Structure 1
Amino acid sequence: MGRDSLLQALTLAMIRLTAWEEKGFDGPVLRAWKGYDWDAIDQLVEEDFIHTEHRWKSIYLTDKGEARADEILNHLEPLLEEKTPNCTKRNGQ
């Protein structure tokens, strides 16, 4: 995995970890602030993992993005537990 792909994956995971649920037009959406690397944000938009508009200060995860973020976090979780056994699991699990 190259540097850009890793940055994109970790950005998506961070977005998922910091997201909150909000009422959207078609039901609930996961929204997060977009204080991440702009190139990574642009790539995530291009690949339909997130949606944002230029003037918005936040983004929301698409269903595809939420699923991919959960895959990434499920892959990372065992690695994190090995390094920091006292860490709190995400979403209170």
Structure 2
Amino acid sequence: MKDQIDELTLMLLYLTSFKDDYGLGEAQRSWKGYPFESLNELSENKLIVDSRRSKSVYLTDEGIEEAKRLMKKYHINGQ
């Protein structure tokens, strides 16, 4: 069940994400109002970049691609 929660958390992060210009380019960000256990796991798997001091996370290119793959798996239309 934990794997499914992590998958759904990644999809929600992607679906609620926004583009942010941080000065050197754009990044996909999302607010981190999700279980910290899942956020920690996604960060360890290099799907997001998390900062303890920030209220948001950055989705990595791998995280964006994985979220898109999961959306197809679960038959979800989105961004």
| TM-score over 0.5 for the pair | yes
Give CA deviations for 1:35-87 in whole Å, capped at 9, x if unaligned: 0011000000000000011010000100110010010012212xx5xxxxxxx
Q: Could you say which residue in structure 1 is the equivalent of 2:59?
A: 61
Q: Could you say which residue in structure 2 is the equivalent of 1:90?
A: 78
Distance 1:59 1:15 in 2: 9
TM-score, normalised by the number of residues in structure 2: 0.91
Q: Paired residue for 1:45, among 43, 46, 50? A: 43
Structure number having the greater helix percentage: 1
TM-score, normalised by the number of residues in structure 1: 0.78
**How many aligned positions are there?**
79
Deviation of residue 26 (structure 1)? 4.5
Q: Does 1:10 align with 2:8?
A: yes
Moved over 3 A (4+): none
**Which protein, 1 or 2, shows the higher relative CO under an 8 Å CA cutoff with sep ≥ 6?**
2
| RMSD after superposition | 1.3
Deviation of residue 25 (structure 1)? 5.1
Q: Structure 2: which amino acid aligns with 1:56?
A: S
Q: Could you say which residue in structure 1 is the equivalent of 2:73?
A: 75
